[in-house]
Amino acid sequence: MAFEWASWLENNHIIVHAADLQLNPPQSYLFVQDFLIILCALLYCFCYVFYTLRTKRDRFLAGPVDLLFGNLAYELYYPFVMARGKVELAGCLVWLLLDVRFVYTAIKYTCPPGTRLKVTLRCALSTLALTAVYYVLGLYFPDDGEQVTAYWTGWLLELGIGWCEVLYLWKHAHTKGQSLEIWVVRFCGVLSAMAVFFWRYLNVPQNWAYVVSWPSIVLVGLNVVPELMYPFLYRRAERKMREAAVQKEKTY
């Protein structure tokens, strides 16, 4: 059959909101949205890979381990309520597996042996509890695919990560557990997530008005600030490390 794959693509788009579908959106709108969602997902996949490698190498986690449990619950819950088919679900589960691998690496290589079982149990219980929280939020704020609650909770989770990274750079004055590669893909992931929702708002403002509400603008802005600060604090930490190395050589 001619154009079979092209026809399949036209009929299989990613996480299209029911309210948008009712307006019979053009294919261009849907394809741009698909591209931005896939780009965001790939960037965060690379982010998890880079975090895992760096954490294992340095045996240091650039933030409290409990901060990871919210992300784990997010990626455990929302794929099953957002995904429209097996392909979408499979893609989301790859993301989840990368996060599980990162959490496993963080616990194994940064927690003392005597505390690993305790931290693992805390991880399991916290993840289940937060998954229940996401479920309850979906009941109180119903939406197609629970995209409203996913939007707000996603930015809140990212907020904690971004600010912890810069605070750790400032406090510890070293780059263990971090890298500029992580920052590049994380910041680009933030920008692509913003682009997904701004693209939706620009085309269907009546369905995505909350994207430009004052709470949303403030929350997104607070997420961008630490990303803009990051390279400067990273260079400062590198300088502090060099100064410490020189001082150590002088003492010998």
Residue 84 confidence class, pLDDT cut points 50, 70, 90: confident
Residue 73 confidence (pLDDT) above 90: yes
Give residue 1's pLDDT: 59
The predicted-structure confidence for 144-190, as pLDDT tens digits, reads as follows 888 999 999 999 999 999 999 999 999 998 999 999 999 999 999 99
**What is the C-alpha to C-alpha distance for residues 104 and 120, in angstroms, rounded to an integer?**
9
Residues contacting residue 207 through CB under 8 Å, at least 6 positions apart: 17, 19, 20, 200
Query: Is there a domain that residue 214 lies in?
Result: yes
Residue 252 confidence class, pLDDT cut points 50, 70, 90: low
Secondary structure in 3-state letters for the chain: CCCHHHHHHHCCCCCCCHHHHCCCCCHHHHHHHHHHHHHHHHHHHHHHHHHHHHHHHHCCCCCCCCHHHHHHHHHHHHHHHHCCCHHHHHHHHHHHHHHHHHHHHHHHHHCCHHHHHHHHHHHHHHHHHHHHHHHHHHHHCCCHHHHHHHHHHHHHHHHHHHHHHHHHHHHHCCCCCCCHHHHHHHHHHHHHHHHHHHHHHHHCCCCCHHHHCHHHHHHHHHHHHHHHHHHHHHHHHHHHHHHHHHHHHHHC
Give residue 93's pLDDT: 85
Percentage of the residues of the chain whose pLDDT score is greater than 70: 95
Per-residue pLDDT, averaged over 53-71, amounts to 93
Give residue 8's pLDDT: 62
Query: Is there a domain that residue 211 lies in?
Result: yes
Query: Is there a domain that residue 66 lies in?
Result: yes
Give residue 5's pLDDT: 66
**Total of domains in the chain:** 1
Per-residue pLDDT, averaged over 185-214, amounts to 96
Residue 248 confidence class, pLDDT cut points 50, 70, 90: confident
The predicted-structure confidence for 99-157, as pLDDT tens digits, reads as follows 999 999 999 999 999 999 999 999 999 999 999 999 999 999 888 888 999 999 999 99
Query: Is there a domain that residue 2 lies in?
Result: no
Smallest CA-to-CA distance from 197 within 4, 17, 58 is with 17
Give residue 104's pLDDT: 95
Query: Is there a domain that residue 1 lies in?
Result: no
Query: Is there a domain that residue 105 lies in?
Result: yes
Structural domain that includes position 168: 26-251
Q: Could you tell me if 80 and 95 are in contact, meaning their C-beta atoms sit under 8 angstroms apart? A: no
Query: Is there a domain that residue 181 lies in?
Result: yes
239 CB-contact burial (10 Å; exposed 0-12 / middle 13-18 / buried 19+): exposed
Q: Could you tell me if 159 and 219 are in contact, meaning their C-beta atoms sit under 8 angstroms apart? A: yes
Query: Is there a domain that residue 15 lies in?
Result: no
**What is the C-alpha to C-alpha distance for residues 250 and 13, in angstroms, rounded to an integer?**
62
pTM of the complete model beyond 0.75: yes
